[in-house]
Amino acid sequence: MAFESGLSGKIAIVTGGSRGIGRAVVELLASQGAIVNFFYQGNAQAANEVVETVRAAGGQAVAIQVDVTSSAECAAAVEAIGERFERIDILVNNAGIVRDNLMAAMEDDEINLVLNTNVGGVFNVTRPVIPYMMSQRAGRIVNLSSVAGNKAGRGQANYAASKGAIDALTRALAVELAPRKILVNAVAPGVIETEMSQQVRDLADDQVKSRILLKRYGQAQEVANAVGFLVSSMAEYVTGQVLYVDGGFKMD
Ligand code: NDP
């Protein structure tokens, strides 16, 4: 039996699609024939580059500037996508930030911005998407968690709390939405070579690598592959799961 993604013509939303893991997800879904609407916060040049790359490869992508911490902006953007395409099949909640600091020194901004983006952003985008998926009696939601939700490093209390919340939210939504045939899962990357992890990799390099079973960092594409699986027709019996893509980091 051939592998079949079943993604052709699906309407997808990916948050944080302008760089890193989100960009790899946008490109993967578009390469399988999905029409991908992606949100970015401010880096319009990076977003346009993604659109151009997807179009040059024969795919369809639309970049929309939406700050996921604004529930009004998210609701308006989701509504516009719903009106234009009359359905929403896939949501990948990928946008996320880090603001590492030791807890005693952590500023209000470092706590609030991380929780408002990594957790609040998922509520803000998912809530207006759900009615579409409910009426379709179908849908896939994938949330980007992190190995840090389970096994955090020093100075990551804010980020670890946000990703632990994502794991819990994923399971709760899987329960709530299963009767409408909406599948909800999370992907938890380890250390992936993107701008987000640059500082950690610069500071720790070999010491961190030695704790990863596969002795190397991951690539954005390797995380996108897991997301692609979970939104594809290959994963119709998978819900409420957190899939680690971490080279065995959590096992250490
Ligand atoms: P990057 O920093 O490379 O990219 C972040 C993306 O999120 C950008 O597209 C950025 O947009 C967007 N973004 C940030 N804040 C907002 C916001 N308020 N509204 C809309 N978009 C926003 O991150 P990664 O690709 O590395 O990470 C993606 C996800 O994977 C995150 O949830 C992260 O926590 C998770 N993860 C990453 C790991 C890693 O090692 N890289 C490890 C574990 C988890 P713009 O370009 O406009 O700034």
Q: What confidence tens digit (pLDDT) does each residue in 109-154 have?
A: 999 999 999 999 999 999 999 999 999 999 999 999 999 999 988 9
Token pair listed for 202? 């610069």
Residues with a known catalytic role: 159
Work out the pLDDT band at 3, boundaries 50, 70, 90: confident
Closest CA to 34 of 1, 69, 3, 60: 60
Nearest to 213, CA basis, from 169, 171, 182, 247: 247
Supply the DSSP symbol for 168: H
Per-residue pLDDT of 139-198, as tens digits, reads 999 999 999 999 988 999 999 999 999 999 999 999 999 999 999 999 999 999 999 999
Q: Decide whether any atom of ligand 1 lies within 6 Å of the 183 Cβ.
A: no
Question: What integer best gives the mean pLDDT of the chain?
Answer: 97
This prediction has a pTM of 0.98
- Higher-pLDDT residue of 176 and 205 is 176
- Rounded distance, CA 139 to CA 178, Å? 10
Dist. CA 250–CA 206, nearest whole Å: 17
Task: Please enumerate in sequence order all residues whose Cβ is within 8 A of that of 84, keeping only pairs 6 or more positions apart, or say none.
Answer: none
Q: Is the CB of 194 inside a 6 Å radius of any atom of ligand 1?
A: yes
Nearest CA, atom 3, ligand 1: 20
Atom of ligand 1 nearest to the CA of 19: 9
Q: Is residue 85 classed as helix, strand or coil in its secondary structure?
A: helix
